[in-house]
Amino acid sequence: MIDLGQSHPRYVSSSILSKKIKQYYEHGKDLLPWLREKSNLTDIDTDQAFDKTMDAVYKCMEPLVIHIRPGTNSELKHQIIGELSKDHGFVNLDVEECIKGEHERGTVIGKHFYDIVQATKVPPADLIVKMLNKIIYCGQASLTKFILSNFPGTIEQSKIFEVNCAKLSAMIYPTSASTATVEIKNNDLTLFNIDSLMAKEFRLKTMSEWSS
């Protein structure tokens, strides 16, 4: 209210505001238990920094998305995808197959992809994310966990996906047992690639064998 100023149309005096706050807590004593019982209520602590509060909100709303990198062990990559899909309820979104499916069904997005490919151009990340948005947020409550494969491949693509769709909870890098690390040229973590970025953010997980 101090920031708004008394001349602002939404300004409320402190005396009225205190009554509204008191009324809010009085109603909350009855409303919150009812909501916990009758609805899928999630409590979020707002007595913290705004960005932390919003992070908590996003976690409730966004699906769980894991990106499987090509890595150096293609056999393990397919095993990871298969195990997560079969036993853990993940839906595998192979972006190349999704694009093919859109084209075969003759959707608007599919026609855009076809025109771009015919012009020997690379499909832009924003169009791919638009397609993924349609799938991930299709409205089916049971679909909450997804695997992304064959996308994103660059930092720019990952940023476009995270801003316009959902956060990548983790990236799994399948590797052989003898070299259970991500190979980064000259051990330089400052290289501008998606693997080094995710490694610095502790979101890149190497896996040399399947483990739930």
CA distance 65 to 156: 17
* Locus of tokens 């947020």: 137
Confidence of residue 185 (pLDDT cuts 50, 70, 90): low
pLDDT on residue 201 = 86
The mean pLDDT of 3-9, rounded to a whole number, is 90
* CATH 2.60.120.10 assigned to 60-207: no
- What value does the mean pLDDT of the chain take? 88
| Model pLDDT, residue 190 | 47
- pLDDT interval class at 53 (50, 70, 90): confident
Question: Cβ distance 168 to 161 under 8 Å?
Answer: yes
Q: What is the pLDDT of residue 189?
A: 47
Q: Span 15-27, mean pLDDT?
A: 92
The answer, yes or no, to whether residue 166 has pLDDT greater than 60, is yes
Domain assignments of the chain as residue spans, ordered by start: 1-41, 60-207
pTM to 2 decimals?
0.68
Q: What is the pLDDT of residues 65-124, one digit of tens each?
A: 999 998 889 999 999 999 999 999 999 999 999 999 999 999 999 999 999 989 999 999
